[in-house]
Amino acid sequence: MKNATTMLMENGIKPSYQRIRILEYLISHRTHPTVAEVYNGLIDEIPTLSKTTVYNTLKLLIEHQIVNEILIEEKEVLYDVAEEDHGHFKCVSCGNLYDFELRETPPAVPKGFVAQSVHVYYKGLCNKCSTKQNKK
């Protein structure tokens, strides 16, 4: 994966220190963090950082398709560095979110429509939690 500065510059985004660190945080924390998690992860290093800056930077990164918004739960927005298309599985027991490879072609879009992105989400029990449930 390219470094954060290169990714920003290639997309015509001025690579400010805060933007670089926010993108680096997302690259190194593949846990699908929330805005609060990004903010809390960087505030000690960047005392002048505000949640508004995190929101605005993430919005900019989404607009340039560097980052994806993951909306699985109504009141929870998670962020993921945009790489190859992949799906997400949210465990309803432990709350973890897992990436998985899309091996099949998604359903066809209606004639005349142009899909710009594909999002596949599943909810259920992860392997660990389903094993625990089966042992009960």
For residues 72 and 41, membership in a common domain is answered with yes
For residues 66 and 117, membership in a common domain is answered with no
For residues 64 and 98, membership in a common domain is answered with no
Give yes or no for residue 136 having a pLDDT over 70: no
Position with higher pLDDT, 119 vs 114 = 114
pLDDT digits (tens, 9 = 90+) for 88-115: 888 889 988 888 887 776 678 888 998 8
Cα–Cα distance measured from residue 120 to residue 13, given in angstroms and rounded to the nearest whole number: 28
For residues 111 and 67, membership in a common domain is answered with no
Position with higher pLDDT, 136 vs 134 = 134
Q: Which of 20, 56, 26 is nearest to 38 (CA)?
A: 26
pLDDT digits (tens, 9 = 90+) for 6-25: 999 999 999 999 999 999 99
Instruction: Show Cβ contacts of residue 135 under 8 Å, excluding neighbours closer than 6 positions.
Output: none
Residue 44 lies in domain: 4-81
123, 90 Cβ separation under 8 angstroms:
yes
Among 81, 100, 117, give the residue marking a domain's end: 81
Q: Would you give the DSSP letter of residue 51? A: H
Among 58, 81, 104, give the residue marking a domain's end: 81
Give the number of domains in the chain.
2
pTM: 0.77
Confidence of residue 1 (pLDDT cuts 50, 70, 90): low
Range picked from 45-59, 67-81, 95-109, 116-130 for highest mean pLDDT: 45-59
